[in-house]
Amino acid sequence: MRRYGIQAALVAVAIVWGSTFVMVKDAVASYPLFSFLAWRFAVAVVAFVIIFPRALGRLGKGTIAAGLLAGAFLTAGYVFQTWGLQSTSASKAAFITGMFVVITPLLQTVILRKVPRSATIIGIVAAVIGLWLLSGGAAGGWNSGDTRVLLCAVAYSAHMIVLGSVGKHHDALALTLVQLVTTAVVCGAVALLREGFSVPSDRSVIVALLVTGVLASAVAFAVQTYAQRFIPPARTALILISEPAFGGLFGWLAGETLGIRGLAGAGFILGGMVVSELAGARAPAEEGIALEPSLEGMSVPVVGVDGEVVHAAGESSD
């Protein structure tokens, strides 16, 4: 019963993540982008400290340095994604963001100069075909918002690689806290310089801040770290991989449509993500691949740069 309950909680996390695309798109249509992100991560920091108060006592110079590096990529990812949502649909943004699951092993292939496994190649090819179909294929439905969200996926991939290398040597809770603080401070500074200080008063913006800051960040991380004690990482990843599908569903409920070509593209992207996750989960131990839990979405197959199996986001979290 505990395993079923945990799996249901993971499905709930995927639903919350999927719902945030529509919420954020609506929120930044009426409230400044960087101000929204600053408040979002300020709320996330407070919620995280309440849930994981021991994270404060585990901070150190090395952890702060690693967290600042990872936090820089995390910040870039959220900025590009939120900026992109101003010009593209929530449905497309959800599936394009999910591309970071296959971009990560592709980037590591380039960095490590290692020929990828055949299953990884299949996953990457399927996802790229899906992206082409989702964007309208030869008809050309790609826009600037889609480009920004794709850059978000690249930034998320770089973030995961940092966690799988320098991040694995530090406490996961403290490292996560530094990343959240980094994003809040950077976005807050930009907001003060470009947008001025303002307290949100619109009810929909406040709800979006609470959902994204508390449920989608702090609570989602808590559920993931608890779930990994009882459920294999591959199963956790395959449950959370439904996030883009829920994003598409909420987009559809909000009146968006993908069309037959777009739905086919979404299916290819999801298929590529599943293949990539399974390839990482079934890789031989000597390949040093582990499914790395992520703050921004599904777990990702990550290779330790020194060949060791990595579990940066999950260690020391009991």
- Whether 308 is covered by a domain: the verdict is no
Q: Which domain holds residue 157?
A: 2-303
- Whether 314 is covered by a domain: the verdict is no
pLDDT tens track for 66-108: 999 999 999 999 999 999 999 999 999 999 998 988 888 888 8
- Whether 218 is covered by a domain: the verdict is yes
- Whether 186 is covered by a domain: the verdict is yes
- Whether 316 is covered by a domain: the verdict is no
- Name the DSSP class of 231: S
Q: Report the 10 Å Cβ neighbour count for 199.
A: 7
Residue 197 to residue 249: CA distance in whole angstroms? 34
Is pLDDT above 50 for 316? no
φ and ψ of 291, to 5 deg: -85, 110
pLDDT tens track for 256-268: 888 888 889 899 9
The domain tally of the chain equals 1
Mean pLDDT of 123-142: 79
Is pLDDT above 80 for 112? no
Mean of the per-residue pLDDT values of the chain: 85
Helices (H), the chain: 2-27, 33-51, 61-85, 90-97, 100-112, 118-134, 144-163, 172-194, 203-210, 220-227, 233-240, 243-253, 259-281
Q: Report the 10 Å Cβ neighbour count for 8.
A: 11
Instruction: For residue 7, name the pLDDT band (cuts at 50, 70, 90).
Output: confident
Give the position of tokens 């999801």. 270
**Cα–Cα separations (whole angstroms), residue 36 to 68, 117, 149, 275:** 21, 41, 17, 35
- Whether 226 is covered by a domain: the verdict is yes
pLDDT tens track for 38-74: 999 999 999 999 999 998 888 888 889 999 999 999 9
Asked if residue 95 lies in contact with residue 38, where contact means CB atoms within 8 angstroms, the answer is no
For the record, the structure tokens of 40 come out as 């979002």
Confidence (pLDDT) at 110: 81
- Whether 179 is covered by a domain: the verdict is yes
Whether the CA torsion 191, 197, 202, 208 is positive or negative: it is: positive
Q: Which of 109, 77, 43 has the alpha carbon at shortest distance from 295?
A: 77
Q: Which residues pair with 301 in a beta bridge?
A: 291
Confidence (pLDDT) at 296: 66
Confidence (pLDDT) at 34: 96
Asked if residue 270 lies in contact with residue 241, where contact means CB atoms within 8 angstroms, the answer is yes
Mean pLDDT of 223-227: 84
Angle between the 172-194 and 33-51 helix axes, to the nearest 10 degrees? 150
Residue 107 to residue 211: CA distance in whole angstroms? 31
- Whether 276 is covered by a domain: the verdict is yes
For the record, the structure tokens of 264 come out as 């086919």
Specify the pairing of strand 300-303 against strand 289-292: antiparallel
Asked if residue 147 lies in contact with residue 135, where contact means CB atoms within 8 angstroms, the answer is no
